[in-house]
Amino acid sequence: MFNGFYSNKRVLVTGHTGFKGSWAALWLANLGARVWGFSLPAPTDPNLHQVISAGTFETQVEGDIRDYPMLLAALDQARPDLVLHMAAQPLVRRSYAEPIETLQTNVIGTAHLLEAVRALGLGCPVVVVTSDKCYENREWEFAYRENDPLGGHDVYSMSKAATELVAQSWHRSFFVSDPRLGPVATVRAGNVIGGGDYAVDRIVPDCVRALIAGKPILVRNPAAVRPWQHVLECLSGYLWLGARLGAEGKNSPLATAFNFGPGAASRQPVKRLVEEVLDVWPGRWVDGSSAASPHEATLLSLAIDKAAALLNWHPVWDFHRAIRETITWYHQRHALNNGDMLGFTRRQIDLYAESARAKGLPWAQ
């Protein structure tokens, strides 16, 4: 897959102990990559990192992306063929409680990473992961395109917009003119779901915690519409873009921003998602909406025409399949006490790749 690019390549994943970082690291290892991780400890217990860690990493460094000397040393040791930058403070509601930490981690942390790559003269591509919330959200029906204005009502969203600007600035100011350095691209995904996410104030982990405890699911914003997608969807885009950048080199026209979102039918209200969850793992939910809750966007979707046109990338699993695979993962771990969740997680990656191959997508051939 991915034109065989990752076989025996050294890939540094920042944020490798997080939900998306753990899935990315395992997939890379399955592709034959030598995976290096740089991250704080896993933010929750339980977590996905404890499931996938054994045999996945060549080296793991416990460090803070805000610690520039430590990050520089880790990059110097890894000398990667590609950097997948996923380390972040990823929660909207937490950004209200910890705005400075959010800003420092997401914005200054990204500047530290790019500056360390520049200081070491590394020629590898850098793929910077941001968010669909980097756009100036007008609460309209239209899907946001990569050239739409950046913005953000809350600190988290603003920090992701600022991360985009940092990546763009470093790329234009330093990377383009320095023959030692490789390309920089940014990637934006929708509301990502999948097994192994245990973050607070996220709807799927909230559902799972309630179901495990035998309690009703408290849904704080049932009418909010989100572009739901399985984590493997966006990761296939990230890895395909990284492989193309690695093959095409310094002057690749792909060194820009890309949306990797789901199809239009996956833009569904939170209420619909919860109902789908309960079809797999029976329970009940209650409306917990409150006028006193912090502001969160109610309508958001991504246009994926650019990824389709330039990368021939398309979503694979629909809304129903994404939720079923997600909740089945949690049910296996917490209700059925599956003793081989590493094998189960690998099989989900294989199932996703088989589905993509059946659709004729080039990265999966």
- Residue 42: CATH number of its domain: 3.40.50.720
Provide mean pLDDT across the span 110-122.
Answer: 98
pLDDT digits (tens, 9 = 90+) for 129-175: 998 889 988 877 788 999 999 998 899 999 999 999 999 999 999 99
Q: Angle between the 270-280 and 203-213 helix axes, to the nearest 10 degrees?
A: 40
DSSP 263: -
**For residue 258, pLDDT beyond 60:** yes
81 vs 249: CA distance, rounded Å: 11
Q: How confident is the model at residue 293 (pLDDT cuts 50, 70, 90)?
A: low
Average pLDDT, the chain: 94
Q: Look at residue 209 in the predicted model and tell me its pLDDT.
A: 97
Provide mean pLDDT across the span 247-269.
Answer: 94
What contacts 24+ positions apart, CB below 8 Å, involve 329-332?
329/194, 329/195, 329/196, 330/195, 330/208, 330/211, 330/281, 331/280, 331/281
Q: Angle between the 19-30 and 341-358 helix axes, to the nearest 10 degrees?
A: 70
| Of 220 and 187, the one with more pLDDT | 187
Q: Say which residues have a Cβ less than 8 Å from residue 24's Cβ, sequence separation at least 6.
A: 13, 16, 84, 86, 235, 238, 239
In this structure, are residues 168 and 186 in contact, taking their beta carbons and an 8 Å threshold?
yes
Nearest 5°: the CA angle 190, 196, 201 is: 60
Q: Say which residues have a Cβ less than 8 Å from residue 206's Cβ, sequence separation at least 6.
A: 200, 217, 218
Q: How confident is the model at residue 104 (pLDDT cuts 50, 70, 90)?
A: very high
Q: Look at residue 152 in the predicted model and tell me its pLDDT.
A: 83
DSSP 278-320: HHHS---EEE---TTSPP--SB--B--HHHHHHH-----S-HH
pLDDT digits (tens, 9 = 90+) for 316-325: 999 999 999 9
Q: Look at residue 290 in the predicted model and tell me its pLDDT.
A: 67
Question: Which segment, 230-234, 262-266, 289-293, is predicted with the most confidence on average?
Answer: 230-234
323 vs 162: CA distance, rounded Å: 31
242 vs 139: CA distance, rounded Å: 31
Q: Look at residue 40 in the predicted model and tell me its pLDDT.
A: 96
Q: How confident is the model at residue 314 (pLDDT cuts 50, 70, 90)?
A: very high
75 vs 207: CA distance, rounded Å: 38
- What is the Cα 298 distance to its own chain's centre? 21
CA distances from residue 242 to 82, 126, 184 in whole angstroms, order as listed = 7, 8, 10
Torsion sign over Cα 88, 93, 96, 98: negative
225-230/267-269 β-pairing = antiparallel
Q: Look at residue 141 in the predicted model and tell me its pLDDT.
A: 72
Q: How many domains is the chain built from? A: 1
**Which residue is associated with the tokens 């950046």?**
150
pLDDT digits (tens, 9 = 90+) for 37-72: 999 999 999 999 999 999 999 999 999 999 999 999
13 vs 23: CA distance, rounded Å: 11
Three-state secondary structure call for residue 36: strand
Q: Look at residue 300 in the predicted model and tell me its pLDDT.
A: 77
Q: Look at residue 140 in the predicted model and tell me its pLDDT.
A: 74
Range of the domain at 299: 2-364
DSSP 262: -
Q: Look at residue 137 in the predicted model and tell me its pLDDT.
A: 86
DSSP 329: H
